[in-house]
């Protein structure tokens, strides 16, 4: 009889693995991050908008490779949103920490990829909100929409390409036309 050995990974393993930036960590198992080119590009656009805002209003915008270890129900869980924002005064001594960030971001952004299952995206939104993330954006490049979640998975608003996306009290004075996140892309005809 043969046995299959399974390995349980730790958050520290992700930091030392040569390709650890390609994975999240859920229940001790590596979960590969599999974004397509379009979704990755849109994530970059969101990061750019957040970065420009943080330069003038404070706080820190982070790209997709930034890892968060901030989940009280599973202290070893590590998620990497496609973009994120942490407001001013949230880090000890106002310094970005080395390794995984252990405070929940104020905003987590997930960009839907062709390989994403709906329930996996919803599960991430729920995890973020339970961890204390104040706002979650789910950006859909196929339909040029942004779904905004606050407080709970049921508390959402949806914005289309002609709408203006704002940051509310999480990102005061943030404004961006939704279509700007998809600039230069062809809009789906479906």
| CATH code (residue 134) | 3.90.1570.10
pLDDT for 3 equals 47
Residue at token pair 């954006």: 137
**136 lies in some domain:** yes
Strands 29-32 and 23-26: antiparallel
pLDDT digits (tens, 9 = 90+) for 83-109: 999 999 999 998 999 999 999 999 999
Q: Is the pLDDT of residue 2 over 70?
A: no
In a domain, 175, yes or no: yes
Confidence of residue 189 (pLDDT cuts 50, 70, 90): low
Q: Is residue 176 part of a domain?
A: yes
Number of domains in the chain: 1
> What's the mean pLDDT when you consider all of the chain?
91
Q: CA–CA distance from 172 to each of 4, 88, 106, 159 (Å)?
A: 52, 12, 12, 18
Please report whether residue 45 resides in a domain.
yes
pLDDT of 59 above 70: yes
Q: Which domain holds residue 43?
A: 35-182
| pLDDT average, residue stretch 115-142 | 93
**10 part of a folded domain:** no
- Answer yes or no: are the C-beta atoms of 81 and 109 closer than 8 Å: yes
């Amino acid at each position: 009889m043969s046995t299959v050995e399974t390995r349980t990974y730790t958050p520290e393993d992700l930091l030392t693995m040569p390709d650890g930036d390609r994975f999240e960590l859920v229940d001790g198992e590596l979960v590969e991050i599999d974004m397509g080119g379009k979704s990755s590009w849109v994530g970059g656009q969101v990061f750019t908008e957040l970065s420009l805002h943080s330069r003038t209003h404070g706080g820190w915008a982070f790209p997709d490779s930034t890892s968060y270890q901030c989940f009280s129900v599973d202290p070893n869980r590590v998620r990497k949103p496609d973009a994120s924002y942490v407001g001013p005064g949230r880090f000890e001594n106002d310094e970005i920490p080395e390794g995984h960030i252990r405070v929940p971001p104020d905003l987590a952004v997930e960009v839907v990829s062709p390989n994403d299952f709906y329930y996996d995206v919803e599960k991430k939104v729920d995890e973020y909100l339970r961890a204390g993330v104040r706002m979650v954006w789910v950006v859909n490049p196929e339909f040029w929409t942004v779904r905004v979640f606050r407080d709970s998975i049921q508390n959402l608003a949806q914005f289309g390409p002609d709408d203006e996306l704002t940051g509310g009290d999480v990102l005061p004075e943030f404004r961006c036309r939704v279509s700007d996140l998809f600039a230069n892309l062809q809009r789906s005809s479906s």
